[in-house]
Amino acid sequence: MLTHTTQTEADKAVAEAKAKLDTTYRLGYHIMAPANWINDPNGLIHYKDEYHVFYQHHPYDENWGPMHWGHVKSKDLVHWEHLPIALAPTEDYERDGCFSGSAVDDDGVLTLIYTGNIFIDKEKDILDQSQCIATSTDGIHFEKHPQNPVIPMHPEDGSGHFRDPKVWKHEGNWYMVLGTRKGDIGKAILYKSADLKAWQYLGVLGESDGTEGYMWECPDFFELDGEHVLLFSPQGIKPEGDRYQNLFQTGYVTGSFDYETNTFERGDFQELDHGHDFYAVQTLLDDKGRRIAIGWMDMWESAMPTKEHGWAGALTLPRVLTRMEDGRIKMEPVEELTALRSKRFDLNLSTIEDTEIVTNVTEELLEVEVEFSLRDVTAEAFGIKLRRSEDGEQETVIRFSTKTQQLSLDRTKSGVGVDGVRTVEVEGEDDVLSLRLFLDRSSVEVFANGGTTVMTSRIYPDPTSLGLSFYAEGGRVDIKSCRVWSLSDVWNEQ
């Protein structure tokens, strides 16, 4: 195991690995590490007019290992610049990794709050985790605080699984929410500080009722449109029909929080994304007042064919969170992503009846906006096929069943190493089902009805499978509008 390596050594290893990459499935406009492994987004912040995103990174291998913090920044949430590795596990209190955390602007000082990890017994999953800080005045180079760890030990309510601090400021004080477990009960716990160094334990913010998982990872707590939201990634929720089909989930509960009593009255857990590959979401509040979320676009113990190519993992597109009238949260792509649009394809589609219409679009990077009319529809199902091969042996299928009112993302024929269908019930709005799709070389993100339902999945089709088609089964469906754009490959343009 590689430990106590410097950021400079890690950056050199990444540069060497980058030169050897197979780029077949490298994404065109998503955040990735230059090479090797990436998982959770960390430290999302809008700092000095730039968006910073850090991420869990193993710079020495395409598999998970001793975690470092990779780093990118952007002025527009579209064009990202790779920066030097921000954190490496150089100290004894973090000898097995600098685990996930967050970032704050402390009077102009960019401060990272992260988990120092030590494995007591890796095979038995026994950990000793603590909370640490590192600071920067230039937003690039970080110094770890000499008093680290600033929270050296978990409280009685938790255990050695004690990680992923998310910090925010309220009325002059800093607050921190962390994930932990006690036995098989996942929890989010709360701390308070005046200076980011001395922390007071306030108690349990929320915990599993016995059905919501044995560990709550990557908690995030914020106010959204007048209500408080606790995002987290619970481990150990059992599948229920079409729900909770991934190994681990990411979702939220909403409710009211009282800063005087530190009590959170919450509702039921709801999944945030219904695709195959979405985990460890984190948010930032930008200078425009938007709550922007980014997640890890992969899933633990899932197929990752690109490991053979020298890399693994990516992050989702940035998404704006909004609370709806019924209390649910919707996610929409940030408006800046329209800058990716290149060539527009005008598809004169009006009615599809019991057939498949293959278009002349053959692009790897696409955005598709389509409105299907649900008025007078007779088709049993309809939808879109992406990355379709000429012989139909490969395709990723987006399908809406008019009988069950369910939207599915089917990747059983999506290429190397992936399979499975994810399904979610969707209600049309004003007799319309609207879909907005972002297709990259090895990912698809589906936003239905303005982001009220979202599905994110990785796919690995043959590079020659480039077809785009629209279809209806057992009847007809009318298309009110359909717009398609090829998208820029921003990484290759740098």
Closest CA to 232 of 207, 255, 210: 207
Could you read off the pLDDT tens digit of each residue along the chain, which spans 494 residues? 444 579 999 999 999 999 999 999 999 999 999 999 999 999 999 999 999 999 999 999 999 999 999 999 999 999 999 999 999 999 999 999 999 999 999 999 999 999 999 999 999 999 999 999 999 999 999 999 999 999 999 999 999 999 999 999 999 999 999 999 999 999 999 999 999 999 999 999 999 999 999 999 999 999 999 999 999 999 999 999 999 999 999 999 999 999 999 999 999 999 999 999 999 999 999 999 999 999 999 999 999 999 999 999 999 999 999 999 999 999 999 999 999 999 999 898 999 999 999 999 999 999 999 999 999 999 999 999 999 999 999 999 999 999 999 999 999 999 999 999 999 999 777 899 999 999 999 999 999 999 999 999 999 999 999 999 999 999 999 999 999 999 999 998 87
Concatenated DSSP letters of 41-85: EEEEEEETTEEEEEEEEETT-SS--SBEEEEEEESSSSSEEE---
The residues carrying an active-site annotation are 40
- The CA distance from 105 to 111, in Å, is 6
* The token pair that represents 372 in the structure block: 């299907």
Concatenated DSSP letters of 145-175: -TT--SB-S--TTS-S-EEEEEEEEETTEEE
| The pLDDT value given to residue 430 | 81
Burial of 172-192, coded b for 16+ CB within 10 Å and e otherwise, reads: eebbbbbbbbbeebbbbbbbb
- The CA distance from 179 to 208, in Å, is 12
DSSP three-state, residue 254: strand
Concatenated DSSP letters of 386-434: EEE-TTSSSEEEEEEETTTTEEEEEEEESBTT---EEEEE---BTTEEE
Residue corresponding to tokens 């200076």: 195
- The CA distance from 305 to 307, in Å, is 5
| The pLDDT value given to residue 4 | 58
Q: Which residues contact 47 (CB under 8 A, 6 or more apart)?
A: 103, 105, 110, 139
Residue corresponding to tokens 């602007």: 105
Phi (first) and psi of residue 395, to 5 degrees? -175, 150
pTM greater than 0.95: yes
| 413, amino acid identity | K
